[in-house]
Structure 1
Amino acid sequence: MNEFPYPEVQPFERLQVSDGLMINSQRWQLAHEYHQHRQNVLYQSLFLPGIICGLGVAPIEAPQDLPAQFRDGRWVQIQPGLAIDLQGNFIVVPTPINFRIATIAYNRAIEMVYLVLSYVDPTKLRQTNSNEILVETFRINEKTDLPLSTDIEICRLAIAEGKLEIQKPVDVFAPKACQLDMRYRLAAQIRPQNSIRIACLQSQLGQPSPIQQRFHFLGRAMSSIAPSLSIIEPIANLDIHAELTIKHLSPYTLIYLTNDQAIEINDSTELALREYIAKGGLILIEASIRQTKLENLLEIQQELENAHHNLLKNTQSNTQQADRALIQAELQSELEAIKIETNNTIQDLLNTFSSHIPMETPMQPFSDLEPDHPLRSQPFLFSHLSAIANSPIQILTNGSVIILLGELSQVWSGQSDLFLPRESIRNCQELGINILNYAAQRYSIHQSMQVNAQYQSNTALPDESDQRRITNMVDKLVVDKLA
């Protein structure tokens, strides 16, 4: 999802009406602008910009009343429809609009053309008549640059050199040159409660990172199963060898890296990570344990736990109770022994990169978290962690750092070589969403307790708002009354 800012925090100003007030055009306009401003803030706060309905684009024959030089295959018709833009303005296209694509490609290069719609305030247009009614209108543009945040993209088109014949695509999900591409149209929707910005630490920035694609697929799953969350794309890459500062890290809700990358972190980045988590950021470290001693230990531990659970669940006759108690005691003893060995092996793994990651607070396993902990319960409920294709996973956290033992992210894209069923893929996606939801909540709470430097001042501003003055007056009256 793209990032769409909230409206500016400004007080509403409206006309104070009293008997005998003389209404002139300026006061009437002030009353009108108040309602318009309030409506725009409402829609900008609660909704994301995009197409509400209609606004389809179809190739058509050129109008016959035009000169021959304009009667070519470059014509499209934009259908009536509704949209809402970034400022909360409604855009209404009441009738079909015929439009000619004028861009030409040169030097055998493919030129991308964007057909966009934007709101036009009629009061800012030069008026040629004295009509009392102003119709809110719009503008249709074709661009070769990426659309602006205030634009509503209704279509894009790849143009090749030579004669252009705009066509409908044979496969709408894989349009070719000169075919209408409607895949990137955004639909107006309710604004998610939390938008998550992710950065991945990488050793080689020039090469594509598979983790970015995995987060992309997880974000697509979130749009349907957890619409209150969204991932802001693109996923950023940060150079792990650079001396990163808090200025580089602070824009991100979550920083992702592997255990091998954690070893490469330099002193400057380590200091920045400490300040980053203090400000509410979350570090996610994924460590592959495939074909390692730890994987074998976790498998044995899981088998013993399942056997212990099944033994407690099965009912036996009185003559077999003694044997069951003996088996239960043996299982419990073996389970405690394997847990000790597993914990020691995990601690050995953590020690390899703990000197580079702020992990002074002890790590707590997923199973020891409270049942209502966000990682276990929001938005999806987990009583325990399931194995992935018989390969166990483990999660450890101290609140600011999450250690993921296993290859959970590999499953998010559905392109894992494990050939997992759909249910297993969905479980892994839901666990990943719980991690992102925890990161988003933690970041939001920490940010809510920060002093915004933009408004920080030692003295009162000369243009204090009426609300501030009223608050001060009430406080003074309360103090005088108590005195």
Structure 2
Amino acid sequence: MTMPFLQRSLQPFERLQISDGLLITAKRWQQAHSYHRQRQNLLHQSVHSPGIVWGLGVSVIRAPETISSQYRDGRWVQIQPGLAIDNFGNPIVVPAPIEFRIASEASAKQPVEVFLMLRYVDPDKLQALPEQETIQETFRIDETVTLPQVDEIELCRICLAPGRHQLKPAENVMFPGLNELDLRFRPAAHVRQTEWVEVGCFSASATAQFRALLHSAIALYPKMAGRVEHLAFPLNSSVTKYHLLYLTKAQFLALDEASMRGLLSAIAQGTTIIVAESLKGSAIAELQTVRQQLTDALLETSESEETYLAVQCELSAVTEQLQEYLQQQHAELSFHCHQLGIAISQAELLSSRHPLKTEPFLFSQFPTLRQQPITLLNSQGLIHLLGDLSVAWDGEVPFPREAVRTSQELGINVLHFAWQRKQRTTLQASTAAPEQSSQFVQTYA
């Protein structure tokens, strides 16, 4: 799994000031080596996501001959040589095959999922180091029943059936079964994504759809990764950490004053709120269809033809009528906020250069799903989504491939907009000045 960048306290690097006659002690020699290690780790941590570089395969083996008979139970695996980089930028080198026994057992009724983890071990932190000129950086292999921690690299997972069973290779490596090696979730080291998006959803279906959208970003927009959480409704905690919050219109209208003020506080701190509304059976869907038909007809008609002006006039009238209907729909949200004593600015149709229509994917018109042309209204941190955009993201509903891809690209535009807005809001927010800031001002003045 891709992880966000671990933000450490900012401390400038310090290195030895070399001059003639400097006495090289063990402490100073260690300081010189530590300086280069810290720089290397920071480079790996900043540029690469943690994962396996190559090798580190896992296979089922017989118990080694030196093992006593009570442990010859068909639960031995072998980790192959290989290389990985952890989340702190430490390279982990496994130089030779390692035999390991899976000791966990499932309960009598429920299977248990076991994880085989690789972790870097700093030899300087080991006790009773031998007296020798060099020490070897090493690693540790652990077996856990919890998801990988921040310093761990997953090598394999196994879902153990109740009772005692022998391990076996997966017959179908794409869909492993009980007691079979599952290698599907091994992270591969790669260039770190620059856009990390935190999404909060208030329904299980929306949570699954946004997770599918982020999965599609691996191929469509590799710069982006993120995490989606299913939140309890109504709001019971701060949501300012999220880049994007997704609610239905019914949920939005059900918010009380305290929850609404919590949302507006999040918007002020850079969070983007999506309020989604289905247009099934509404006049807006019909008007959008007519508008699209007139637009297509206008493109196929020459300006010299007599019908061109008539089509253009009809298109203008339909567009104006559509704008009125859309404002009426959005007025419900504004009225609800007004009743709670909260003012929000009027949302507008997107211009051709709006980031939601241009970054990273260009749209001249939005897709149509379930005979509902998608429409977005935007008022700073509030996006009013009209139409079922998310239904095509997870493949549960059959749609043509073009419709799926177009809806995914528009969804990525929404995530990108939310990430940009949160980032820029955070960058211009004032923070307490560090004590050493005056030193830098004097140095560079």
SS in 1 for 2:232: strand
Q: 1:307 Cα shift?
A: 1.3
2:328 aligned with 1:352? no
SS in 1 for 2:285: helix
2:255 aligned with 1:258? no
Equivalent positions of 1:237-276 (< 5 A) are 237-240=231-234, 242=235, 244=236, 248-276=238-266
Structure-1 separation of matches of 2:55 and 2:169: 17
Structure-2 separation of matches of 1:238 and 1:109: 27
Structure-2 separation of matches of 1:15 and 1:219: 45
In the alignment, residue 469 of structure 1 is paired with which amino acid? Q
Q: TM-score when scaled to structure 2?
A: 0.94
In the alignment, residue 215 of structure 2 is paired with which amino acid? R
Equivalent positions of 1:112-131 (< 5 A) are 112-127=113-128, 129-131=130-132
SS in 1 for 2:334: coil
Alpha-carbon contact 2:2-2:187 (below 8 Å) kept:
no
SS in 2 for 1:354: helix
For 1:407, which of 363, 367, 388 is the aligned residue?
Answer: 388
SS in 1 for 2:231: strand
2:218 aligned with 1:227? no
| Structure 1: gaps of 5 or more residues | 203-208, 314-320, 476-483
Alpha-carbon contact 1:308-1:331 (below 8 Å) kept:
yes
SS in 2 for 1:134: coil
Q: Which residue pairs with 2:270 in the alignment? A: 280
2:356 aligned with 1:375? yes
Alpha-carbon contact 1:14-1:30 (below 8 Å) kept:
yes
2:191 aligned with 1:210? no
For 1:292, which of 282, 287, 290 is the aligned residue?
Answer: 282
Q: 1:164 Cα shift?
A: 2.4
Alpha-carbon contact 1:54-1:81 (below 8 Å) kept:
yes
| Structure 2: gaps of 5 or more residues | none
SS in 1 for 2:335: coil
> How many residues are matched?
440
Larger Rg: 1
Alpha-carbon contact 1:199-1:238 (below 8 Å) kept:
no
CA offsets, 1:47-80, max 9 Å, x none?
1111111111000011122221122201100011
Structure-2 separation of matches of 1:20 and 1:361: 70
Equivalent positions of 1:105-254 (< 5 A) are 105-127=106-128, 129-202=130-203, 209-233=204-228, 235-240=229-234, 242=235, 244=236, 248-254=238-244
Alpha-carbon contact 2:211-2:227 (below 8 Å) kept:
no
Q: Which residue pairs with 2:90 in the alignment? A: 89
Q: CA RMSD in A?
A: 1.9
Q: Which residue pairs with 1:340 in the alignment? A: 320
| Distance 1:389-1:161 versus aligned 2 partners, 3 A rule | closer
Alpha-carbon contact 1:270-1:356 (below 8 Å) kept:
no
| Distance 1:184-1:364 versus aligned 2 partners, 3 A rule | same
CA offsets, 1:195-253, max 9 Å, x none?
11011235xxxxxx1111111111111011101111214x231312x4x56xx111100
Q: 1:45 Cα shift?
A: 1.3
SS in 1 for 2:143: strand
Alpha-carbon contact 1:55-1:80 (below 8 Å) kept:
yes
| Distance 1:106-1:236 versus aligned 2 partners, 3 A rule | closer
2:445 aligned with 1:469? no
SS in 2 for 1:446: helix
For 1:442, which of 392, 396, 421 is the aligned residue?
Answer: 421
Structure-2 separation of matches of 1:401 and 1:141: 46
Q: TM-score when scaled to structure 1?
A: 0.86
